[in-house]
Amino acid sequence: MADPGKKTYRVLVLSVIKHAYLPDAVAAHPRFALVAVADDALRPDWTHERNQKYADMHAIPYCRNVEEAFRNFDCDIAVISSEAERHCDLAMRAVRAGLHIIVDKPLSPDVQECQSLSELIKQSGLKGMVWNRNFLPALIEARLALSEGAIGDLLAVHCDFYFSKDAGPPKETETMGSPPIDWLDRQLEAHADGSDGGVGTQPMGELQIEGIYPLAYINSICSSPFERVVASTATHFHQANVDNQVDDLAALSFVLENGVIGSLAIGRIGAASHPDIGEIKLHLIGTRGALVVSEARPEVGLHYKDQPKNEFKNIRIDNDNDFLLMDAFADALDCGTELPLDIETACNIARIIDAAQISANEGREVKIS
Amino acid sequence: MFKIEIQLEPKRKSLYEEAIRRLRSIYVSDDANTAPDARIVGPENAISNQGVPCLVDQPERIVSHTLASLIKSDSHIMPAHALRFSSRVKPIDEALRAGKLGKPGLMRLHYWATEGVSLKQAMFGPIDLARWFFQDEPSMRQWVETKHSLLCHLQFPSDGMALMNVSNPFEGEVAYESVQLIGATGAAYGDDHHNTHLHFRKNSISARIQHNNIMHGLMGLVSEFVDGILNDRDWNVTLKDTLRIHELLEELVDG
């Protein structure tokens, strides 16, 4: 129940055309109320269908004119869950209209757009957050242990981040001569199981789609900018990635400005490769000890006769990530506190990913500007 | 019966004796009057044992010019690349060879050594394992070295990659190891984190790692050594592998 002494913030959903976990999380928090869905009139029909469906589910109107929605619904916040390539455009329009923003990950595949948004929001004094998983129980525990000095000063951070999901047909199973898989068609198909984070006309690799999650972990743990990175990438698993020349497996090694070293292994490794969502771990090494943290825990094992093959066998529990992120956003609006992943930090992460891609393409170490 | 003489310092010798005790048709000979069928020697004795097939323990400690001499003299020596045979790696390797994992894509390894271990020597096994899994030489090699850590990043011509971290930052007596191999159709995870027990005490709780039994790795090593001799076949690891890893380590760490 909402605190009667505190304001309930009015939220405009700007395009909700992929997995809806972001606007759903906003709607679930008692300090926020979804007021309307809006998108541009000239979007394709499937976009309007999905927007309308979401609006109907929440019994709110769908407005096919973004600027009109800014004027008519008296909202405080815009929540953006469009194609990643449209995130920054919609976010900048919302900021110019005086709205705080919450943007789904990744901030944008275009670093320059990220930079422009970062500068604009800084000038505006408004708040902006990119969706993240920094408040998963295991991440909270890891930061708590570090802050208590459990391992002394941090020397190294290594992250494994594998999603054991499929992405259409496996590599090299398409018959010779068949047309390449269209990226957008594949993503639209993936909507059924919620694995359409890369939806859009611009193909994105796994590092670009999901890399912000582990890099945000590392940022929250290390609190230092990256200095340099070396990366290797491959299209190892999925034909859609091969046909669209975007990675599905990547390895990064890096050095932070504070001298901490680290690495990241990330990939969409196929559903057969892990019993649950994937092996996601942090290895933290300090001057007086070390920590191995499993991102999935705590969890409860569940096994039964005729269990569907694709059902997770371990169920995550005690996950307050969505609630705590929105709590942090409410606090930022109420009192000006810091956000767990603000636009500037997300922009810096976009720069790391961009540098990693240059490194992988050119086979050399790249300094982060 | 196959007779093996062991010329190692007492601690290492007893480990091999215990491993050989579990193998059929092989025994340890201490009889100076009987010629052994083979020897297990330390790195310092590799060059003086030519003539009898030798398994050289801890080949990461053989100096490079000795290796070159041994290769040149066509010595009958099998270097004991122990990590390949460890009980954690064996199921991964077998699954890979059986095609269960598909084409290897990424090898990930974390190793936190106990106090006093040389990081460069500790990286010997991981680099060997990467070359072994990908069956090739790395085409891209990157390295980050700090006082307590080595981070090695390799890429292979197949687009396979290896990301390996070896550290010894704190005063500990317990090592930690995690090896993962991500293939195109499957993945294998050998991780001490998974093999951990909890130890509750007054006001504290700690983890107890169920470490792999070193005996099983040594049994695999000795079996491969003896089987190669008895069947007159090449061993699955050669001194050229040892030399190549030394060269890579020198290029990366010392270069």
CB of A236 within 8 Å of a chain B CB? The answer is yes
Of all helices (H) and strands (E), which one includes residue B211? none
pLDDT band, residue A218 (cuts 50/70/90): very high
For B152, name the nearest residue in chain A, comparing CA atoms only. Answer: A253
Q: Which of A254, A283, A359 to mutate to test the interface with B (most CBs of B within 10 A)?
A: A283
CB of B180 within 8 Å of a chain A CB? The answer is yes
Residue B41: how many other CB atoms lie within 10 Å: 22
Quote the pLDDT of residue B48: 78
Residue contact B187–A162, C-beta within 8 A: yes
For A234, name the nearest residue in chain B, comparing CA atoms only. Answer: B159
B28 half-sphere exposure, CB direction, 13 A CA radius:
17
**A236 contacts B181 by C-beta, under 8 angstroms:** no
Nearest to B186 among A155, A249, A272 (CB): A272
CB of A226 within 8 Å of a chain B CB? The answer is no
pLDDT at B45 over 90: no
B64 token code pair: 């490079």
Report the pLDDT averaged over residues A107-111: 97
Rounded CA gap, B195 and A318, in Å?
24
Quote the pLDDT of residue A174: 61
Quote the longest CA-to-CA distance of chain B: 61
Q: Give chain A's domains with CATH numbers.
A: 9-126 (3.40.50.720), 137-321+339-367 (3.30.360.10)
Residue A244: how many other CB atoms lie within 10 Å: 20
Rounded CA gap, A282 and A303, in Å?
27
Contacts of B243 (CB under 8 A, 6+ apart): B64, B67, B68, B71
Bridge partners (DSSP) listed for residue B206: B199
Instruction: Give one DSSP letter per residue of A94-132, joined into a string.
Output: HHHTT-EEEEPSSS-S-HHHHHHHHHHHHHHT--EEE--
Predicted confidence (pLDDT) per residue in B134-158, tens digit: 999 999 899 999 988 999 999 999 9
Backbone conformation region of residue A278, classed left if phi is above 0, alpha if psi is from -120 to 50, else beta: left
A338 half-sphere exposure, CB direction, 13 A CA radius:
5
Type of residue at A200: G
Of all helices (H) and strands (E), which one includes residue A326? helix A321-335
Residue B245's closest CA among B137, B108, B106? Answer: B137
Quote the pLDDT of residue A216: 98
Q: Which of residues 139-178 of B touch A (CB under 8 A)?
A: 140, 142, 144, 146, 148-149, 151, 153, 155, 159-163, 165, 167, 169-170, 176, 178
A110 token code pair: 């275009």
Count residue pairs from A and B with Cβ separation < 8 A: 121
The domain segmentation of chain B, as residue ranges, is: 2-81+217-236, 88-212
pLDDT band, residue A175 (cuts 50/70/90): low
CB of A292 within 8 Å of a chain B CB? The answer is yes
Residue contact B144–A363, C-beta within 8 A: no
pLDDT at B160 over 90: yes
Rounded CA gap, A322 and A129, in Å?
13
CB of A207 within 8 Å of a chain B CB? The answer is no
**Strand-pair category, A154-163 with A261-268:** parallel
Residue contact A156–B186, C-beta within 8 A: no
pLDDT band, residue A2 (cuts 50/70/90): low
**B119 contacts B152 by C-beta, under 8 angstroms:** no
Type of residue at A268: R
Rounded CA gap, B36 and A83, in Å?
72
Rounded CA gap, A12 and A33, in Å?
9
Place of tokens 């090593």: B221
SS3 A158: strand
For A365, name the nearest residue in chain B, comparing CA atoms only. Answer: B142
Quote the pLDDT of residue A97: 98
> Among A121-135, A173-187, B101-115, whose mean pLDDT is lowest?
A173-187
Quote the pLDDT of residue A263: 98
CATH number of B2-81+217-236: 3.40.50.2300
Quote the pLDDT of residue A313: 87
Report the predicted TM-score, pTM, of the whole model to 2 decimal places: 0.93
**A274 contacts A244 by C-beta, under 8 angstroms:** no
Residues of chain B with Cβ-Cβ distance to A277 below 8 Å are none
Rounded CA gap, A68 and A325, in Å?
29
SS3 A142: helix
Instruction: Give one DSSP letter per residue of A22-91, joined into a string.
Output: HHHHHHHSTTEEEEEEE--TTS-HHHHHHHHHHHHHTT--EES-HHHHHHHS--SEEEEES-HHHHHHHH
Domain B88-212 belongs to what topology? Answer: Dihydrodipicolinate Reductase; domain 2 (3.30.360)
Mean pLDDT value across chain B: 92
Report the pLDDT averaged over residues B121-132: 97
> Among A11-15, B12-16, B64-68, B232-236, whose mean pLDDT is lowest?
B64-68
**A314 contacts A275 by C-beta, under 8 angstroms:** yes
**B15 contacts B218 by C-beta, under 8 angstroms:** yes
For B186, name the nearest residue in chain A, comparing CA atoms only. Answer: A273
ipTM exceeds 0.85, yes or no: yes
SS3 B116: coil
pLDDT at B91 over 60: yes
pLDDT band, residue A50 (cuts 50/70/90): very high
Rounded CA gap, A14 and A70, in Å?
10
Report the pLDDT averaged over residues A129-136: 98
pLDDT at A124 over 90: yes
